[in-house]
Amino acid sequence: MISDPTYDAYRRRAEDVLADIQFGPRRLFTATDAEILALDGPDAKRVTPLLSLGPDVPDDQRSAAVEEAARRMFSDNAIADGTPLGGDSVSAPEPTVRTVLRMRRSWLALLAIDQRTAFGRQWVTAYLRADRRVLAEAVTPEGEHLFSAMKRALALDSAVQSLAPIPEATDEDGPGRRLDARTWQYDVRESLAEAKIVSVVIARRHDGSMRNLTDDRFSVYNFADRTEIMYAEDPDHVRIAPVSRQTLRDRLEAITSPLDGYRPADA
């Protein structure tokens, strides 16, 4: 586990923001440290490494399993945004997929969207790589993980539709306000309680070095009677404002855009 002031501060801030949202388990995926922070409640916080294929894969078969998963999920001739990546959706163990992504050293940004509804959970997770490949994850009602490659624009459009599915949601930008990061949950508790869907978006970016973060942000989208974004502008404050679907699309575009000049190690 990485332990440094930057990471520790980020983790504490994320824990504080998510701790008071009572819509089932929360999961915060981080790309640079290859860990998952699972928040199952205020008394059940844990950090679990992702570098594991799971106990069901024997040690002597791990390399082959990783290569097979990579071959099935990533097309060798896939190129920039706008070009379909090809290949069918593949069902694979979640730890295997994350191990593949981690071992390929192609992280640019990670967009994790965790939707929690009163009727169950829905996931739209897009892993954005430095060559602009995208791996989208969905979990079926039966709990099966499905992974499919898609072009970036399609992934972002899908994310916007999933994040803003309520027809009567305000489809225009509204005025914002800044709240103290330590107490904002209390200020919007009623709004959160009425929300049918609460989603968390996490993005961390780096320039290829595991510790050299170039961007660190997270957003919480709350849907009660309008689309509302809670966006961390700095460690001490959050900004809350209704946003239109186009603004949400632009925000996701900016969060997940490739860094200028960065090329992955395996490009």
Helix (H) or strand (E) holding 185: helix 184-187
Q: What is the pLDDT of residues 52-103, one digit of tens each?
A: 334 455 656 655 554 554 444 444 333 333 333 333 444 444 444 444 444 4
Token pair 């997270």 in the structure block, residue: 218
The range of the structural domain enclosing residue 123 comes to: 5-53+62-256
In a domain, 219, yes or no: yes
Q: Which of 12-26, 29-43, 139-153 has the lowest mean pLDDT?
A: 29-43
Give the list of residues 6+ apart from residue 70 with CB closer than 8 angstroms, or none.
Answer: 100, 104
In a domain, 159, yes or no: yes
Please answer whether residues 226 and 165 qualify as being in contact, where contact means their C-beta atoms are separated by less than 8 angstroms: no
Write down the mean pLDDT value for the chain: 53
Order of strands across the sheet with 145-150?
90-91, 145-150, 134-139, 120-129, 107-117, 197-206, 213-223, 227-234, 237-242, 177-180
In a domain, 204, yes or no: yes
Quote the CA–CA distance of 210 and 157 in Å, as a whole number.
Answer: 29
In a domain, 262, yes or no: no
In this prediction the pTM is 0.53
In a domain, 265, yes or no: no
The answer, yes or no, to whether residue 178 has pLDDT greater than 80, is yes
In a domain, 264, yes or no: no
Distances (CA, A) of 106 to 74, 110, 134: 12, 11, 11
Helix (H) or strand (E) holding 25: none
In a domain, 266, yes or no: no
Number of domains in the chain: 1
Please answer whether residues 191 and 198 qualify as being in contact, where contact means their C-beta atoms are separated by less than 8 angstroms: no
In a domain, 73, yes or no: yes
